[in-house]
A and B are shown apart, each in its own frame.
Chain A
């Protein structure tokens, strides 16, 4: 598998943000980003195993604002419980892509070969097209997208980056912001 970093690597940082599952919490987060002029590359949200909380993975453009400001401003949102800052080097990142590709009988076998190389799965088939599900490192998805583009993309959806910190690595680049320097 290819693991070259995408061009965004130097500019992006990942924030794994644990939020209370309250109405409007996502809009509070996005509102803060637009209000303060912070840019987002991608954003993925889903409930966690604890139903009170959801996790938002935000891929932040650190050229638009100092990461420290982004984290401190986010931390002021009452519904944000914890912010984990992940340097891309210390994180496992993954993203899911669903893509419908034009694949007539002539090109079909080439498309299927590419899907195989990238460990993708064909989840739907019609006489003229295929729908593929592909999970992997975001740069691999970028690469796949480039390679299949010439066959014709009829529809494409990516989830945005998901991330968790790598296990058993030194913790020094990981910073858990809890918002407290205080006694209680």
Chain B
């Protein structure tokens, strides 16, 4: 069967099971936009290519399937670089197709030419410049394979216009042949035994679960390990939801804005079990002072993460799901059955003293804020709690980047995996609106709320036009503090309250009018009393996006906080606790 390169591309995407793609056409990708008309794939027309990238990320984060985006050459390609870098940092599988100028014009500074594969070399797991139409099915199957296996990540396929226009004989490759690409899966049995021994001997163990647990779909194995051993769990910003917040052994988020109990348990641990986490500086603070007395078991599919930041006593390269099952069976053989008859939760169990020590920290320093502020200000944390209290557990929460993101992560109770979508490694303002759209497209049956900042909202709000016109009813709660709040907080705490270029204004723009102009329903909430009823109204609206402008307390800060580069022992708790700190 003779096809054009463009037809072969679409057919290849269909062969990969692609149902939805996000994109925006232009000259160099024009040939591919023609066969889309006849394809089963739903194409969602975004208003900016960055939005296509983040929407594809939202889609991928809630499904585990690769998000697909397609844009034109030059500015289309450069506009999606932020999303590629974001996906690279957060190990999100994406397949991005970019148009390119015709092969003969490459290198001539042709109209809308840019060195897309060069620019994206360090923000993709791999990229391809396709030189012949007959390579298209092979490259697409390689692209999906690389994006989704091993440590997932974004890939990019650059497709010159003459290649998509020329003819080829259709085929579908039986298998992928990449001699240099062999992701690890199973853990080394000797190291697994060593890890099991460390677990059986530890008296102050903590699990430091990262995004890799979700990527590997290993939440059931993690839960089993905890049931078996009673080891407390911390879930990083990328891992929120991989273990239920309501579980008694869940300590919440570690790191710069983590809970006191999570941060301190890690600091005082004698065994740190890092699963799909990478000792990010926002978690460790000062590395030399991080968990100083802990031995480390580090499980990660990317061997380069092992020993990159912290040396591990048991560095295990492998898929978290596979390695956790290996560890569970190794533990089953050595855990003392008689003395500990599968009742790790009993107060008399070996970890009993550790559990009660942690419980004291939890009771003493819970997450807290002033619930009855004297000035009656609307507290952002209250908004998050209030939304959470009205929605089911499978509601997907998306966040932007800043203070509101931290409050979202802290105050939402995550009880289901894949219900939290955020930009962790890159910290990309503007992520929330398009990512929420992608998440809702992937899971139309689930309610999708986004907690966004006023600053973030202004970066990508126009994608709500996409949402309104495509019938994607997401709900956006803007925690409008009139500031680039997170930066303001740092200026307040570390630059002697010298505020520099952080003021935005509460009512310029008018978010309600803006929302209405984009085909959404807009609400404004100025007092705590109005919060529940407006949220209830928003929950009822299912035929269009909703935007709520919550006028929140300008002065509120995120606590606890470990200042950048400081030791986790120097955690600052909310002043409401009185004299705080470890």
Contact = CB atoms under 8 A, between A and B. Distances in A.
Q: Do A and B come from one complex?
A: yes
Interface in A29-43: 31-32, 35
A183 interface: yes
Select the residue from A19, A73, A82, A179 with max chain B CB neighbours within 10 A: A179
Contact of B180 (A23, A32, A80, A183): A80
Contacts of B121: 24, 27-28, 31
Classify chain A: how many residues form its interface, as a range: 20 to 34
A75 B303 contact: yes
A78 B181 contact: yes
B179 A180 contact: no
A181 B318 contact: yes
Interface stretch (B183-191, B459-467, B484-492): B183-191
A69 B302 CA distance: 12
A155 B102 CA distance: 40
Contact of B318 (A68, A73, A75, A182): A182
B317 interface: yes
B125 to A, nearest CB: 7
A73 B185 CA distance: 18
Contact of A76 (B118, B185, B302, B307): B302
A166 interface: no
Interface string B12-43: 00000000000000000000000000000000
Contacts of A78: 125-126, 146, 178, 180-181
B318 A81 contact: no
Given A78-B178, A81-B179, A179 B122 contact: no
Say what secondary structure dominates the interface of chain B: loop
Nearest to A34: B122
Contact of A81 (B118, B180, B308): B180
B304 A180 contact: no
B180 A77 contact: yes
B184 A69 contact: no
A128 interface: no
B307 A27 contact: no
A84 interface: no
A183 B185 contact: yes
B180 A19 contact: yes
A182 B186 CA distance: 5
Contact of B304 (A19, A24, A69, A182): A69
Contact of B117 (A19, A24, A72, A179): A24
B182 interface: yes
A181 B307 contact: no
A79 interface: yes
B129 interface: yes
A92 B350 CA distance: 57
Given A76-B302, A181-B187, A35 B181 contact: no
A72 B151 CA distance: 13
Interface string B101-132: 00000000000000001100110011001010
Interface in A1-60: 19-20, 23-24, 27-28, 31-32, 35
A38 to B, nearest CB: 12
B157 to A, nearest CB: 13
Nearest to A71: B304
A181 B122 contact: no
6 contacts: A24-B121, A35-B122, A66-B307, A78-B126, A80-B180, A181-B188
Given A72-B303, A182-B182, A182-B318, 16 more contacts: A23-B129, A23-B131, A27-B118, A31-B121, A35-B122, A66-B307, A69-B308, A72-B304, A73-B304, A79-B126, A80-B180, A180-B182, A181-B188, A181-B303, A181-B318, A184-B182
Pick the 9 closest A-B CB pairs, nearest first.
Answer: A72-B304, A81-B180, A78-B126, A180-B182, A182-B185, A182-B184, A181-B184, A80-B180, A78-B181
Interface of B: 117-118, 121-122, 125-126, 129, 131, 146, 178-188, 302-304, 306-308, 317-318
